[in-house]
Structure 1
């Protein structure tokens, strides 16, 4: 994310995200890499306000090269009839 979507996310305005010290404050550019995600809650009621939530993501690491190699080997095995 190159720009924060809301002013309240910046540390200078009470949020958790430090801004890039070399960029103008009005640009709201984070100091580090941040990713926007969509989190759906269990409640059907819409959220009308900006609120802080903590989310824990789990996953496994896999290199792009390993994914390509696995796909290529899979195709070779399928085509060879083994």
Structure 2
């Protein structure tokens, strides 16, 4: 199956949102945690990144680390 970049962006967005929900972490709390790691993010900047579904790999990995997610399961994405 050929997947478009829009489909992958949608999958990635849904995956990150699901992991945030599982961890009980909202965008404001994620911003706080990322700032503690030296990454300058606000609730607003996170909202925009996640809603458009187009964010860099570093943001995905840093976010997952910040919420304590230690495994990336592609079958869940």
Normalised to the residue count of structure 1, the TM-score between the two structures is: 0.20
Larger radius of gyration: 1
* Length-normalised TM-score, structure 2: 0.21
